[in-house]
Structure 1
Amino acid sequence: MYEETGPDGRRMNTVEQIAAEFGVARPTIYRHLGVVVEHFRTAVVRFVLGKRR
């Protein structure tokens, strides 16, 4: 939901709308997005370091 964009390139849903859809508060969404970003960052670092060995 967070990554969906419209024809104008802008996000289709705000964090507030996503939170309302799931019945949680905005900080919960931001916290989850932070975890996703951290997992992605870790995977990229492992990939890059693995390529150099």
Structure 2
Amino acid sequence: MKLTDSVGSGAENRFNDVVVVQTLLNQNIASLTPHLPIDVDGKCGPNTIELIAEFQC
């Protein structure tokens, strides 16, 4: 898995990059505030952005 561009608010959010980030977030979901896994759909929606922000803190 390798990113070609950034993912998140104001980013390119290319489908394949979003899938990589969503997959990695789901793999690390236990280290975040209790959340259910997110859909790996290649769309950078509010749930994905929320988890990215939380993971970065």
Do the two structures share a fold, i.e. TM-score over 0.5?
no
| Higher Cα Rg, which structure | 1
Q: Which has the higher contact order (CA 8 A, sep 6+)?
A: 2
Give the structure with the higher percent helix. 1
